[in-house]
Structure 1
Amino acid sequence: MATILLNESDSRRRQWLRARLQRQGHVVWPAHHLNDIIATLHDVAIDVMILDLDLHNLDELIAFAGRWRGVKILLQSSAPAPAHDFRSWMADQFVHKSYNSEDVVRAVAQLLQKNPAPLGLSAEGDAGRACLQLMAA
């Protein structure tokens, strides 16, 4: 069981993903807006963060990257080429949005099976987060 912060711009998809992840035993905190994400990160110990790259003002979330250490990040987007989006560098895994939301559920399971990243910059997501923190400074 994991504690998951779920950010999804489409309310129907967010409800479906939340219900599906909860049926698997996860505790899911929905976060529609940037303020919800920041408040949840402040108040709750999150294991996995599912972020929607289509979220407006997601760039502002980079300022809080220090709070993400140890949190596995799954990014999702409907954009065709997210690798060109510098925000995708902070992800441990990426899922392209489609009508098949099972991809997100499978990706969460894969992330949770991976060994936790050691502190430091050895994991791809941590390296990307460090790079983004330097860019934001």
Structure 2
Amino acid sequence: MRMLHTMLRVTDLEKSLAFYQDVLGMKLLRQEDFPGGRFTLAFVGYGEEADHTVLELTYNWDTHEYDMGNAYGHIAIEVDDAYAACDAVRAKGQKVIREAGPMQHGTTVIAFVEDPDGYKIEFIQKS
């Protein structure tokens, strides 16, 4: 067994694709419209689906808002330098919600950013 993907529902596919590609550096791996179901699936990631876990962005054409609830946590991405990663996110006009620095009860350097729908993404600096 292996993990294939995590699915996120997005309210603006173009904004989300721009964030995951232009801000986080992922590639659009595939995208398909399903007119009968009125939704689009877009898969993004850092490598091909055969070898990597990816994100599935689901855009429901008739839904313009979602309730995040209180169960979702975050997606974690390893970065070489969390400080530089935050600077790059901010330089592209996106939101850093926790600046890079050591975690509260440890020494691992982490940071948090937010995608256009408010999903939290944790940067974990390589040790």
**Shared fold (TM-score greater than 0.5)?**
no
TM-score by length of 1: 0.28
Instruction: Specify the structure having the higher radius of gyration (Cα).
Output: 2
More strand by share: 2
